[in-house]
Structure 1
Amino acid sequence: MTDVSRATAAEPQPARPLPIARAINAGLRRAMAENDRVLLMGEDIGPLGGVFRVTEGLQAEFGSARVLDTPLAESGIIGSAVGLAMRGYRPVCEIQFDGFIFPGFDQITTQLAKMRNRYEGRLEMPVVIRVPYGGHIGAVEHHQESPEAYFAHTAGLRIVSPSTANDAYWMIQQAIASPDPVLFFEPKAKYWLKGDVDTEAEPFPLHASRVARAGTDVTVVGFGAMVTTLLQAAEIAEAEGTSVEVVDLRTVSPIDYGPLLESVRKTGRLVVAQEAPQNASVGSEIAATVAEQAFYSLQAPVLRVSGFDTPFPAAKLEGLYLPDADRVLEAVDRTMHY
């Protein structure tokens, strides 16, 4: 059994600043301390602590039976997690890089996503799949991609992505507690972005979007690493006389449209931003839904800012491929002049 008092002692104090990576680590530690059915699985997550050191120290604390180094076989990792969940465990799987998830795609979309519905709700599937995703780390292809739309299209999966350390701490615990499978997309370029983590506060609901910055002229919306870029763009726009409201989606599926629609009805304008390519994307879905539900409030077309519809380029070209504050501001200027 886990030494709960020891694990709790390792918790960060309320409102202590932590990087996102350490916040996820603290959230995993707390979940494991509170429930000995929670276990971690992945490549090099044991003594090494994963390539991004997110699980650092957890095997030493909880043992190799609960923090398992697996073979390089994503299909095997996910397939094993399905079996463990059927036996009452709550496995948390780490996919080492976003582009490595595809060998496990069949297990995720045809088994994990369908299992609870197949049993008419009698069988829960509390499996979390942690996916470091996105660019800005200067890596090669298969290491900087944003594959969230593939999974958002699959009914039965929940998909979330924190943008702050506090969200990361609480959302990983909420994902583990979910009776449904959750893909936990971690913005790896922001792993060392610090923020206050309050371990005593009431956590924000898992599947709820929020206004990250209030504004009156234009709404911009994104999730994960994109939120930092949107906040940077909003600050620049404010200095130039345009008030930008930033909505942090937090959940890619199911999307909480309430705060977003309320914001659009106030500003009359919307820019949707994402790192993924634009075609058939989460951004496309948001644009379509807002056009349907807030059409008479829109004073300009919904604009999208995204990666290009090409494979992810060589690292030296990522700055041209990925949306930055300048590209967001260009879209803000366009929507203001319709």
Structure 2
Amino acid sequence: MDRVSIVHENFLRRVPAQDFPVGDSPVETLEPADALSVFRAQVLSRALDLQSRVMQKQGQGFYTIGSSGHEGMAAVGHALRVDDMAFLHYRDAAFQIARAGKAGHEGIMRDMLLSFACAAEDPTSGGRHKVLGSRPLMIPPQTSTIASHLPKAVGAAHSIGLARRNRPEHAVLARDGIVMCSFGDASLNHSTAQGAINAACWTAVQAVPLPLLFVCEDNGIGISTKTPTGWVKSSMSIRPGLKYFEADGLDMYAAFAAAREAAEWVRLHRKPAFLHLRTVRLYGHAGPDVVTSYLPKAEVEADEAHDPLLYSARGLIAAGAAFAEEVLGIYQGTLADVADAAQEMAEIPRLKNAGEVMKSLIPPARVCAPSNGPSADRRAEIFGGDLAQMDQPQPMSRLINWAMHDLMLTHDETLLMGEDVGRKGGNYGVTQKLHARFGPARVIDTLLDEQSILGLAIGLAHNGFIPMPEIQFLAYLHNAEDQLRGEAATLPFFSNGQWANPMVVRISALGYQKGFGGHFHNDNSLAVLRDIPGLIIACPSSGDEAAMMLREAHRLAREEQRAVIFVEPIALYPMRDLLEAGDGGWMRSYPAPDRRIGLDTVGVHGDGVDLAIVTYGNGHYLSRQAQHDLAASGIDARVIDLRWLAPLPEQALLEAIGDRPVLIVDECRRTGGQAEALMALMLEAGKHQTARIVAEDSFIATGPAYGVTMPSREGIVAAAQRLVNGTAD
């Protein structure tokens, strides 16, 4: 027999014989009715695991990573409140089923079968993926990325304390609520998990409220790699700022007692705790996994002998909550009910086309209370002496700073967070004075960990805040990009639009910094962001437009629940002059607070008919210089600033180009840069008189050679002349 059948037959044989694992369940921790409810959740979880394999063989199911061996999580689900947000390990079906029972949520069996079948009616993902999750049950769905949900759990827990003082319009978490996140012992070793736990401890030791319960389900193995004996306890029980609890997760009575104690401790102390539960993994990692191919048969059989359902049966009988016959009846009846219900799945419609699959990439807009902005007195109080300078031309960095002031004045739920954004005012002074004027609860100096920064933002967004995290340099984003790809941008897709992560991620980026930092502080590649579906990428090049685009980015996050990347060209932060020293040609005045620049627009500069130069960021600045030089040589060019890099404003761009030849100036690399998409667009639009000037496929050097791998004023002029005059390179 296969291992699934062996475990099944063992249960049928051992329960009547009362051949149970040795031990005494602390049955007094659960009332008989509650114990039976938890057991029913465990059995339904097991039955669904068995049925998922049957459905796969029939071609009706598409997911077989089960929860068998982890049924003790039903007791954890029973111990927590229904309004405690839970970010679940993918083996936690029993938790969700138990929470559904506690909430009186009917139909959970059918819901789970729909998810196995990838049915369009699946209430969690709409048939896009098999994920645990439920909006009514306060369980945001997770993808399969290892441990990627832990950083946002830290953020969600932190949001509860912030919301006590400043409750957002769209807040969902209770004032006395806690957050739970669960994961396996193998996931604990991932840098994402370690970073999240470290961030929680770092926060707790500073007496900042963080009501978070980490639950580690330790089955001793990650696919085929063993976890060293004692590793979890030895590494987690000594962490400063983290209270450690442990229990036998095989025994639902012990698991419930420990979970209740840990949850009550977190709720009372508003500090993080770590609950370590011993579990087993039955059947291997997933359906195709033959566990005896990499583990000795004796070890596999030893785990099977510790089936959690046998522990539950032992406790129920010892407590007088059920006889052996009743236990078997619940088990066999549930299996039959699930098998009967699964018959319907063959007839349930699946997603049929790209439009249906992509429908939830963009989250739905939400209704937001209108705001008339702050009073004149309040604005004068916050801005102080800055107010008198607003009609004077300023560099980009200062206009972005003022825009953030106005956004925070107008929208109390707007928060800033990042390394050095507070007291220091950011690496380039862009966030200066905000900490002093709005306080540390709204301008948060974080630890040096980009995963934690973005996770904090995602978690805050779950509770109605509009986070504006800062990543100091584009190159640093690579430490944390999965928080965008695996969490923020994908959540609407996997939740059928029920959940979203609205935020504006500000990144100091791109090249052309003279003699500073090399490729760590000058990074001219946006490729990792451009291929994330649903993500908006903005890149301003002048201060006034930066302020207006930042306001639109904030509106997109607040009202349309979008995740926006706001790329700020570092070299243009202090830029004052355009054509010659002292001309002040790149300075701008601060636009009125109600002015914004829409997503589907481009910036048009000049009416020249000889050539259209399509560009963005630093390329726009250089192209405006080249435009002046070209005019002197008889070429009248129009410069078009893209402003929005994803999605590309295609219609507005093509209208602005008209019949002109096109030169694309892309400061990013030849491979993976915006120019590739723009060249394809021009070809598809029938614009064959097109050329591009781009950066080399190279990192950026420090020192005098900082700009030699990227487009230059002179290079743009030469490329434009070749294109217009029809000469080859």
- Bin of the TM-score, shorter chain as denominator length: over 0.9
- Matched with 1:74 is 450
Is it true that 1:8 corresponds to 2:379 in the alignment? yes
> Of 511, 529, 538, which aligns to 1:151?
529
Secondary structure of residue in 2 paired with 1:225: helix
Q: Give the whole-Å Cα distance in 1 for the aligned partners of 2:481 and 2:525.
A: 11
- Whether the 8 Å contact between 1:213 and 1:231 is mirrored in structure 2 is no
Q: Following TM superposition, by how much is the alpha carbon of 1:210 offset from its aligned partner in structure 2, in angstroms?
A: 2.1
Q: Following TM superposition, by how much is the alpha carbon of 1:220 offset from its aligned partner in structure 2, in angstroms?
A: 0.5
The CA deviation string for residues 164-194 of structure 1, in whole angstroms up to 9 with x for no partner, is: 1111111112212212110000011111232
Is it true that 1:170 corresponds to 2:533 in the alignment? no
Letter in 1 for 2:717: L
- Matched with 2:487 is 111
- Matched with 1:182 is 564
- Matched with 1:259 is 652
- Matched with 1:210 is 603
Q: Give the whole-Å Cα distance in 2 for the aligned partners of 1:7 and 1:206.
A: 30
5+ residue gaps in structure 1?
A: none
| Residues 236 and 12 of structure 1, relative CA distance in 2, 3 Å threshold | farther
Q: Following TM superposition, by how much is the alpha carbon of 1:214 offset from its aligned partner in structure 2, in angstroms?
A: 2.2
Query: What is the correspondence of 1:60-139 to structure 2 with a 5 Å cutoff?
Result: 60-137=436-513, 138-139=515-516
- Whether the 8 Å contact between 2:602 and 2:641 is mirrored in structure 1 is yes
Instruction: Kindly report structure 1 stretches of 4+ aligned residues shifted beyond 4 Å.
Output: 1-7, 11-15
Q: Give the whole-Å Cα distance in 1 for the aligned partners of 2:432 and 2:593.
A: 23
- Whether the 8 Å contact between 2:698 and 2:709 is mirrored in structure 1 is no
Secondary structure of residue in 2 paired with 1:319: coil
Q: Give the whole-Å Cα distance in 1 for the aligned partners of 2:681 and 2:625.
A: 26
- Whether the 8 Å contact between 2:415 and 2:468 is mirrored in structure 1 is yes
Judge which range, 13-22 or 152-161, deviates more. 13-22
Q: Following TM superposition, by how much is the alpha carbon of 1:123 offset from its aligned partner in structure 2, in angstroms?
A: 2.3
- Whether the 8 Å contact between 1:209 and 1:257 is mirrored in structure 2 is no
Q: Following TM superposition, by how much is the alpha carbon of 1:336 offset from its aligned partner in structure 2, in angstroms?
A: 1.2
TM-score, scaled relative to structure 1: 0.93
- Matched with 1:331 is 719
Q: Larger Rg: 1 or 2? A: 2
Q: Give the whole-Å Cα distance in 2 for the aligned partners of 1:200 and 1:85.
A: 24
Q: Following TM superposition, by how much is the alpha carbon of 1:4 offset from its aligned partner in structure 2, in angstroms?
A: 4.5
5+ residue gaps in structure 2?
A: 1-164, 167-372, 576-586
Q: Give the whole-Å Cα distance in 1 for the aligned partners of 2:645 and 2:696.
A: 20
The CA deviation string for residues 120-168 of structure 1, in whole angstroms up to 9 with x for no partner, is: 2232322111111122212221101123222111102100011111111
State the identity as a percent.
29
Q: Give the whole-Å Cα distance in 1 for the aligned partners of 2:678 and 2:643.
A: 13
Is it true that 1:37 corresponds to 2:417 in the alignment? no
- Matched with 1:274 is 666
TM-score, scaled relative to structure 2: 0.44
Q: Following TM superposition, by how much is the alpha carbon of 1:201 offset from its aligned partner in structure 2, in angstroms?
A: 6.1
Is it true that 1:309 corresponds to 2:693 in the alignment? no
Q: Following TM superposition, by how much is the alpha carbon of 1:12 offset from its aligned partner in structure 2, in angstroms?
A: 4.6
Letter in 2 for 1:327: G
Letter in 2 for 1:228: Y
- Matched with 1:222 is 615
Letter in 2 for 1:266: D
Is it true that 1:238 corresponds to 2:631 in the alignment? yes
Secondary structure of residue in 2 paired with 1:196: coil
Q: Give the whole-Å Cα distance in 2 for the aligned partners of 1:282 and 1:72.
A: 30
- Matched with 1:290 is 682
Q: Give the whole-Å Cα distance in 2 for the aligned partners of 1:266 and 1:15.
A: 38
Q: Give the whole-Å Cα distance in 1 for the aligned partners of 2:416 and 2:645.
A: 23
Secondary structure of residue in 1 paired with 2:403: helix
Aligned residues: 333
The CA deviation string for residues 245-284 of structure 1, in whole angstroms up to 9 with x for no partner, is: 10000000011122321243321x1111121111122111
Q: Which has the higher strand share?
A: 1
The CA deviation string for residues 288-311 of structure 1, in whole angstroms up to 9 with x for no partner, is: 11111133xx4x2x2111111122
> Of 412, 421, 425, which aligns to 1:49?
425
Q: Following TM superposition, by how much is the alpha carbon of 1:240 offset from its aligned partner in structure 2, in angstroms?
A: 0.7
Query: What is the CA RMSD across the aligned residues, in angstroms?
Result: 1.9
Judge which range, 133-142 or 235-244, deviates more. 133-142
Letter in 2 for 1:314: T
Secondary structure of residue in 1 paired with 2:679: helix
